[in-house]
């Protein structure tokens, strides 16, 4: 019984320390980048000193997606922080932090960004197209990889060739929809050289 009580107390102590750390961190970031407090998720990037904190929010509409408002890249060794946000008009859809690949000499981070301007620019909806972005594990060198006006369908990283292969679906029939009536495209992006090539199906 005493051991159980000790474990519970230890767990509460750990949660308390983590809460204090996030409160302190949010205060520092508010001073640096005018970012409101509200971090609700932490993910460590394997084989690095980096941890990524995120702020998420769901829109008012029932069809609205859960938006990641910002990503904060924290170096746990130096306690330096870097805030990452997508360009205007985009919101972060999903973030993949532990990807087998190298970009600009660091671990690769892959981000799907949703473009809010396709339908209602005030909120993110299911039909809004998503695009592929990459950055380094330290939150630098943010770059859009997939072409504009082509919605992201699927992607995969090949660690051996250090390439990012992905499928997109352009609005080929110009009906303002991305569906099965539109054909798809296949691309290979070389993470080392930054070269993007479309692959033709035989």
Residue spans of the domains in the chain: they are 38-199
Residue 155: C-alpha distances to residues 122, 149, 159, 166, 189 (Å): 28, 17, 13, 4, 11
Cα atoms in the 13 Å half-sphere on the side-chain side of 129 = 19
Q: What's the confidence (pLDDT) of residue 75?
A: 97
Among 194, 99, 88, 84, CA closest to 139: 84
What is the full per-residue pLDDT of the chain (202 aa) written as tens digits? Answer: 444 444 344 455 544 444 444 445 444 433 334 444 578 889 999 999 999 998 766 555 544 445 677 899 999 999 999 999 888 888 888 899 999 999 999 999 999 998 876 555 555 555 678 899 999 999 999 999 999 888 899 999 999 999 999 999 887 666 666 667 778 899 999 999 999 999 987 5
Q: Give, as one character, the DSSP assignment of residue 21.
A: H
Among 15, 100, 102, 116, CA closest to 61: 116
110 bridge partner residues? 96, 134
Q: Give, as one character, the DSSP assignment of residue 79.
A: -
Hunting for tokens 């690769």 — which residue is that?
Answer: 108
63 bridge partner residues? none
Q: What whole-number distance in Å separates Cα of residue 55 and Cα of residue 178?
A: 29
């Amino acid at each position: 019984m005493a051991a159980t009580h000790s474990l519970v107390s230890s767990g509460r102590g750990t949660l308390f320390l983590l809460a204090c750390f996030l409160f302190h961190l949010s205060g520092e970031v508010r001073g640096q980048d005018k970012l409101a407090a509200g971090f609700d998720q932490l993910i460590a990037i394997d084989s690095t000193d980096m941890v990524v904190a995120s702020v998420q929010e769901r829109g008012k509409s029932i069809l609205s997606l859960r938006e990641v408002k910002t990503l904060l890249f924290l170096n746990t060794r130096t306690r330096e922080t870097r805030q990452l946000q997508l360009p205007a008009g985009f919101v972060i859809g999903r973030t993949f932090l532990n990807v087998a690949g190298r970009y600009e000499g660091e671990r690769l981070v892959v981000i799907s960004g949703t473009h809010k301007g396709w339908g209602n620019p005030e909120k993110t909806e299911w039909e809004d197209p998503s695009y592929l972005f990459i950055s380094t594990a330290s939150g630098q060198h943010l770059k859009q990889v997939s072409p504009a006006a082509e919605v992201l369908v699927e992607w995969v990283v090949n660690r051996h060739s250090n390439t990012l292969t992905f499928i997109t679906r352009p609005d080929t029939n110009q009906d303002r929809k991305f569906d099965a009536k539109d054909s798809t495209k296949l691309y290979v992006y070389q993470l080392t050289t930054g070269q993007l090539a479309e692959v033709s199906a035989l």
